[in-house]
């Protein structure tokens, strides 16, 4: 079946602009995760959704970052007033059950470049 | 919070040799230890995982061993092939999320 998809694959923006990154999880997966991966590093946790609610947003770096999942499926990560330090690959993952011990399937990521 | 250390950062082997990557973690409450393979520009893909109720798991040329007492686990790849070349990440569950290691770049030379 279809895996996790993310759009856009690449996003170039200017410092101070607003961006939205979209994630389509595997159909039927209740848990959805956002990670950020900087060059040469492992994925870094940002936020976790269990259904429609954000169960853990402790990884969001500051209040410029916000994510929603209004119908328990598609999720959007929103970044306001982007900064050059926000440049990274933003990865989305989903799992069937809502626990970290369930296999997480990753999307291809969105490469964000802030000029 | 959980701290995951991964070694080595780079590993070069000759085709057919074995490769071993090690990770240590700090939280004794962790119970799930997956390994992901990430090729250049691609998504991380799960290659094997182990849960705390077993000490070893094998899938063809790939195996993972876990020592919960010492809080470390290792990935073993035997009979390496050029297509095994990639970055490998270990991860550990922490409450409701995964904490990843910093990655090991494996190069397999023909």
Beta strands across the sheet bearing A65-68: A5-7, A19-24, A75-79, A65-68
Which chain A residue has the Cα nearest residue B38?
A: A42
Q: Is the pLDDT of residue A51 over 90?
A: no
Ramachandran angles phi, psi of A14, nearest 5° = -100, 150
Residue A70 sits at the chain B interface (C-beta within 8 Å): no
> Tokens 């990935």 correspond to what residue?
B75
Residue A101 sits at the chain B interface (C-beta within 8 Å): yes
Q: Is the pLDDT of residue A98 over 70?
A: yes
Give the integer Cα–Cα distance in Å for B84 and B108: 7
Pairing mode, strands A110-114 and A10-13: parallel
Distance separating the N- and C-terminal Cα atoms of chain B: 41
Give the integer Cα–Cα distance in Å for A89 and A39: 8
Q: Cβ(B82)–Cβ(B110) under 8 Å?
A: yes
Q: Is the pLDDT of residue A1 over 70?
A: no
CB-based contact B32 A106, cutoff 8 Å = no
> Tokens 């993972």 correspond to what residue?
B64
Which chain B residue has the Cα nearest residue A5?
A: B43
Which of A57-66, B49-58, B85-94 has the least mean pLDDT? B49-58
How much of chain B is helix, strand and coil, in % rounded to 5? Answer: 5, 60, 40
Which chain B residue has the Cα nearest residue A94?
A: B97
CB-based contact B94 A104, cutoff 8 Å = no
The mean pLDDT of chain B is: 95
Which of A70-79, A91-100, B27-36 has the least mean pLDDT? A91-100
**Smallest Cα distance from B106 to chain A, Å:** 13
Q: Residue A25's closest CA among A67, A59, A76, A89?
A: A76
Q: What is the pLDDT of residues A14-26, one digit of tens each?
A: 999 999 999 999 9
How many other C-beta atoms lie within 10 A of the C-beta of residue B42?
A: 13
Which residues, 6+ apart, have CB-to-CB distance to B78 below 8 Å? B18, B61, B63
């Amino acid at each position: 079946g279809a895996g996790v998809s993310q759009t856009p694959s690449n996003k170039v923006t200017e410092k101070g602009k607003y961006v939205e990154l979209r994630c389509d999880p595997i159909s039927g997966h209740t848990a959805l995760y956002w990670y950020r991966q900087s060059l040469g590093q492992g994925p870094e946790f940002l936020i976790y959704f269990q259904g429609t609610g954000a169960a853990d947003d402790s990884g969001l770096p500051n209040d410029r970052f916000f994510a929603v999942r209004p119908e328990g499926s598609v999720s959007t990560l929103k970044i306001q007033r982007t900064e050059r330090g926000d440049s990274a690959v933003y990865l989305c993952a989903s799992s069937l059950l809502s626990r970290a011990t369930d296999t997480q399937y990753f999307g291809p990521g969105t490469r964000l470049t802030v000029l | 919070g959980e701290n995951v250390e991964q070694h080595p950062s780079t590993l070069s082997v000759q085709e057919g040799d074995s490769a071993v990557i090690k990770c240590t973690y700090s939280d004794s409450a962790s119970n799930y230890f997956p390994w992901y393979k990430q090729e250049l520009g691609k998504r991380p893909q799960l290659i094997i995982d182990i849960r705390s109720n077993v000490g070893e798991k094998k899938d063809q040329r790939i195996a993972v061993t876990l020592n919960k007492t010492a809080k470390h686990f290792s990935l073993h790849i035997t009979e390496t092939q050029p297509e095994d070349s990639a970055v490998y990440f270990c991860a550990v569950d922490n409450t409701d999320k995964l904490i990843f290691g910093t990655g090991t770049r494996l190069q397999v030379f023909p």
